[in-house]
Amino acid sequence: MTIQILMPALSPTMTEGNIAKWHKKEGDEVASGDLLAEIETDKATMELEAVDDGVLGKIIAAEGSENIAVNTPIAVMLEEGEDASAAEAAAPSPAPAAQPEPAPMPQAAPAPEPAAAPQPAPAAPKSNGARVFASPLAKRIAADAGIDIAAISGSGPHGRVVKRDVDAAIAGGVAAPAAAPSAASPAPAAPAPAQLPVVAGGYTEVPHNNMRKVIARRLQESKQTVPHFYVTMECEIDKLLAMRKDLNARAEATGEDYKISVNDFIIRAAAFAMKKVPDVNASWTDEAMLLYNDIDISVAVAIDGGLITPIVRNADQKGLAVISNEMKDLAARAREGKLSPGEFQGGGFTISNLGMYGVKEFAAIINPPQSCILAIGAGEQRPVVRDGALTTATMMSVTLSTDHRVVDGALGAEWLQAFKVLIEDPLAMLL
């Protein structure tokens, strides 16, 4: 068995590192504890020691390689008796993850920082057949509900998926509005058939279905032709959570049929923000800007094999309970494949929420011809400074991706600000 040496996370904040120096050459014998390499992080240069005995079979990331994502293979160790060909086979040939971010966006406008999103491809890492840590009960409930447990983010010790996570996923509309376009990580640029991966363990070929082809085509087109830029803000949602609790308690008390989710608030707030800043509700054409009359919000919903974006139409004219029930119905029918085309085609703005997976923040790919997509992270307790003192609040990071041809930096920021005001003071949504 060859052993892959991965770029280690040498500090809690480290996401990528550079190879400052290799202390061993290919073919060198290595004993556990030997100094293998020096890794340069954003903070310091640290030593990488060998954990196992063996021979350094292949160096994948050469000295001087930069911005190698954590957990990307950087070398292959051979155990006794193995020859170098095993190392070749084990090395992922083009080491795709090791490549630095695609060039920064075409420099334009005095836009706010492009947020250089390290694009962590949110939903992908779990579903690669690696063991999912989940309680037996959680696994069983998920299986009974037909949910892929790998798609659920765990809140138990060390990220273990427990019953409450599965219950929440079911309550929040199964794997819920999720896996936004961004989940479909940038498809290989050119369909070069010669680039089939060479992996020791072999692989299974899964032919694309239509949805997969559409996702690949549209998102590739978007990322290649739409000049994206990103603005991120942190919103405090304690008031919103309190109001949600209050409203849902009311439903229980009066027997009214609704249970409002945080996402329902987000839909309403986005709709209201669009009313305030209507210029974002637009599409680019070569001849003219198309400004939409209606505020129709698409919401990304993960479904078996992909995702779909059903639309809450005229969301600015609907109350929370109506939005909530409509969304539940749309999500349920989306999962059953029973949406009519009119229910998911069109829309002027998309919301993609990966909060329920514990994603802190991410940047989504615009769903053309729309010009904006809002990526929602998890609401979580974070330290905040208030009146000069450190305290905690429930914060949610949101990132707006916009088509710079339609929405300039200031406009995007203005919209996001309007959204933040509504989310942080949800009473304002009643006006």
Q: Which long-range contacts does 24-31 make (Cβ < 8 Å, 24+ apart)?
A: 24/56, 25/56, 25/59, 26/56, 26/57, 26/58, 26/59, 26/84, 27/55, 27/56, 27/57, 27/84, 28/55, 28/56, 29/54, 29/55, 30/54, 30/55, 30/56, 30/77
As a whole number of angstroms, the distance between CA 259 and CA 307 comes to 23
Measured from the CB atom, the residue of 140 and 405 that comes closer to other proteins is 140
Measured from the CB atom, the residue of 113 and 144 that comes closer to other proteins is 144
Cβ–Cβ under 8 Å, residues 227 and 403: yes
Q: Is 239 in the site for other proteins (CB under 8 A)?
A: no
Measured from the CB atom, the residue of 49 and 234 that comes closer to other proteins is 234
Q: Which stretch binds other proteins (CB under 8 A): 119-127, 162-170, 179-187, 397-405?
A: 162-170
Could you tell me which residues come within 8 angstroms of residue 235 by beta carbon, excluding any fewer than 6 positions away? 395, 396, 397, 398, 419, 420, 423, 424
Q: Is 162 in the site for other proteins (CB under 8 A)?
A: yes
Q: Which stretch binds other proteins (CB under 8 A): 53-61, 156-164, 223-231, 344-352?
A: 156-164
Give the nearest distance from C-beta 233 to other proteins in angstroms: 21
Measured from the CB atom, the residue of 159 and 369 that comes closer to other proteins is 159
Q: Which amino acid, residue 35?
A: L
In the list 155, 195, 225, 345, the residue contacting other proteins (rule: CB under 8 A) is 155
Q: What are phi and psi of 289, to 5 degrees?
A: -90, 130
- SS3 labels along 236-305: ECHHHHHHHHHHHHHHHHHCCCCCCCHHHHHHHHHHHHHHHCHHHCEEECCCCEEECCCCCEEECEEECC
Cβ–Cβ under 8 Å, residues 402 and 412: yes
Please provide the size of the chain in residues. 431
Q: Which stretch binds other proteins (CB under 8 A): 160-168, 201-209, 278-286, 362-370?
A: 160-168
- Alpha-carbon separation of residue 279 from 22, 108, 349 (angstroms): 53, 19, 12
Q: Where in 106-145 is the site for other proteins (CB under 8 A)?
A: 135-138, 140-141, 144
Measured from the CB atom, the residue of 40 and 234 that comes closer to other proteins is 234
Could you tell me which residues come within 8 angstroms of residue 388 by beta carbon, excluding any fewer than 6 positions away? none
Q: Is 11 in the site for other proteins (CB under 8 A)?
A: no
Q: How many residues bind other proteins (CB under 8 A)?
A: 18
Measured from the CB atom, the residue of 35 and 241 that comes closer to other proteins is 241
Measured from the CB atom, the residue of 163 and 313 that comes closer to other proteins is 163
Give the nearest distance from C-beta 134 to other proteins in angstroms: 9
State the virtual CA torsion across 213, 407, 327, 169 in degrees, nearest 10. Answer: 70
Measured from the CB atom, the residue of 141 and 312 that comes closer to other proteins is 141
In the list 381, 386, 425, 427, the residue contacting other proteins (rule: CB under 8 A) is 381
Give the nearest distance from C-beta 126 to other proteins in angstroms: 18
Give the nearest distance from C-beta 135 to other proteins in angstroms: 3
Give me the catalytic one of 23, 158, 228, 404: 404
As a whole number of angstroms, the distance between CA 297 and CA 181 comes to 15
Give the nearest distance from C-beta 143 to other proteins in angstroms: 10
Q: Which stretch binds other proteins (CB under 8 A): 78-86, 110-118, 157-165, 200-208?
A: 157-165
Q: Which stretch binds other proteins (CB under 8 A): 78-86, 149-157, 305-313, 338-346?
A: 149-157
**DSSP-derived pairing of the beta strands 16-22 and 29-30:** unpaired
Active-site annotation holds for 404: yes
- Alpha-carbon separation of residue 431 from 385, 389, 427 (angstroms): 29, 32, 8
Give the nearest distance from C-beta 13 to other proteins in angstroms: 15
Q: Is 157 in the site for other proteins (CB under 8 A)?
A: yes
Torsion sign (Cα): 239, 243, 246, 252? negative
- Rg (C-alpha) for the chain, rounded Å, is 24
Q: Which stretch binds other proteins (CB under 8 A): 88-96, 247-255, 340-348, 381-389?
A: 381-389
Q: Is 209 in the site for other proteins (CB under 8 A)?
A: no
Return residues touching other proteins (CB under 8 A): 135-138, 140-141, 144, 155-158, 162-164, 381-383, 392
Q: Which residues are catalytic?
A: 404
